[in-house]
Amino acid sequence: MTYQLGLIGYPIQHSLSPWIHGEFLDKANLQGNYKIMEIDINDSFAEKIEQIKNEGIMGFNVTVPYKQTIIPFLDELDDTAKQIGAVNTVVHQEGKWIGYNTDGIGYVRALEHAYPELFQNKSKKKVLILGAGGAARGIYHAVLTSGYMQIDIANRTKESAEKIALLNKNKAKTSILTLVEAEQRLANYDLIIQTTSVGMKPNTDQTIISLENVNPAAVVSDIVYQPIKTSFLQEAEQRGASIHFGHTMLLYQAQFAFEIWTKENVSTDQMDEELKKILEGR
Ligand code: ATR
């Protein structure tokens, strides 16, 4: 069997997913290919999706700007995708097109791989999420599901943070903060997760908040991976905190998607360093 896989989104010509899934196919000793299927925003999405579905594809990833657009074209959504309201992985199974979202779980897997101790005594640890966009939503859901009991959200616009907090059905405690309040209370948190695009190339000198009050025992995480070490992570490191890189989320969301398509558990060993090198060369 040859796995026909791919990616839809726009623009995606520089996506790293073909490299990642090519490595996974090799590691799992499977025949297959993963192709870029860019859908121009001026094209008919419905027509393009029909075409892709009819080409014998077994599964595909979905990226910006189509993570919500894809939903009406699917037969089923798994629970996580349903609650987040966004799909990044589709599988064709027994004639049905099923949508999943592996972003948040990928993030948590990457974090656990790097900092297993963060996952002990989770009920006593305090998490702060900065930002309230699509990425924050997936991460909040996954962090909540993994058992943390206090997960606060700080965002420029309060209303978006409040919408995300609705995912919490009284399981954990969530306070909504302004970015200034987050700066002031920063010392309370064991894990700080930056989920916005602030600090991404070309605006590499920007940081969403000052880390002046960070607890040196905390882990500071940034989902931005261009550059690999953002100004936010540099500041965290200077202040003695541990840091967690954004490119690892890319790797582990892909690992989980690959599991959904092939039922194979592939390791990401060495790929972290290789991916870092590829990104640093850009
Ligand atoms: P994604 O889906 O990739 O997460 P998004 O939905 O556009 O992206 O979300 C962007 C997030 O980054 C939001 O939380 C946004 O804050 P607002 O809700 O107030 O818009 C945040 N954001 C973007 N630029 C920002 C900036 N310069 N300062 C602070 N927050 C910013």
pLDDT value at residue 170: 79
Per the listing, tokens 């616009």 go with 157
Question: What are 180-194's pLDDT values in tens digits?
Answer: 999 999 999 999 999
Phi and psi for 213 in degrees, rounded to 5?
Answer: -95, 15
Q: What are phi and psi of 16, to 5 degrees?
A: -90, -5
Q: Which of 35, 48, 67, 158 is catalytic?
A: 67
Q: What is the mean pLDDT of residues 158-174?
A: 95
Judge if 129 and 225 occupy the same domain: yes
**Measured distance CA(222)–CA(229) in Å, rounded:** 9
Dist CA 111 CA 109 (whole Å): 5
| Claim to verify: residue 94 and residue 79 sit in the same structural domain | yes
For residue 171, the model assigns a pLDDT of 82
Q: Based on the domain organization, do 114 and 215 belong to the same domain? A: yes
Q: What pLDDT sits at residue 242? A: 98
230 and 185 both lie in a single domain:
yes
- Indicate which residue's Cα is closest to atom 9 of ligand 1: 133
Shared-domain flag, residues 216 and 147: yes
Annotated binding-site members: 15-17, 63, 79, 88, 103, 131-135, 223, 225, 246, 253
Q: Judge if 172 and 267 occupy the same domain.
A: no
Residue percentage of the chain with pLDDT more than 90 = 98
pLDDT band, very low/low/confident/very high, at 282 (cuts 50, 70, 90)? confident
Mean pLDDT of the chain: 97
Q: How far is the CA of 228 from the centre of ligand 1 (A)?
A: 19
- Ligand 1 centroid to Cα of residue 265, in Å, is 33
Q: How far apart are CA 114 and CA 279, in angstroms?
A: 19
Shared domain for 109 and 97, answered yes or no, is no
Q: What is the mean pLDDT of residues 102-117?
A: 98
Distance 111 CA to ligand 1 centre (A): 22
Please list every protein residue whose CB sits less than 6 Å from any atom of ligand 1: 131-136, 155-157, 160, 196-198, 208
Query: Residues 276, 185: one domain?
Result: no
Residue 33 is part of a domain; what is its CATH number? 3.40.50.10860
Q: Measured between alpha carbons, how far is residue 216 from residues 81, 111, 192, 273 in Å?
A: 35, 18, 12, 25
pLDDT digits (tens, 9 = 90+) for 48-93: 999 999 999 999 999 999 999 999 999 999 999 999 999 999 999 9
- 114 shares a domain with 212: yes
Domain range for 165: 105-245
Q: What are 113-144's pLDDT values in tens digits?
A: 999 999 999 999 999 999 999 999 999 999 99
Specify whether 67 is catalytic.
yes
- How many domains are contained in the chain? 2
Contacts 24+ apart (CB under 8 A), 11-15: 11/38, 12/36, 12/38, 12/63, 13/38, 14/282, 15/63
Tens digits of residue pLDDT in 247-278: 999 999 999 999 999 999 999 999 999 999 99
- Considering the domain architecture, whether residues 227 and 156 belong to the same structural domain is answered as yes
Same domain for 127 and 47: no
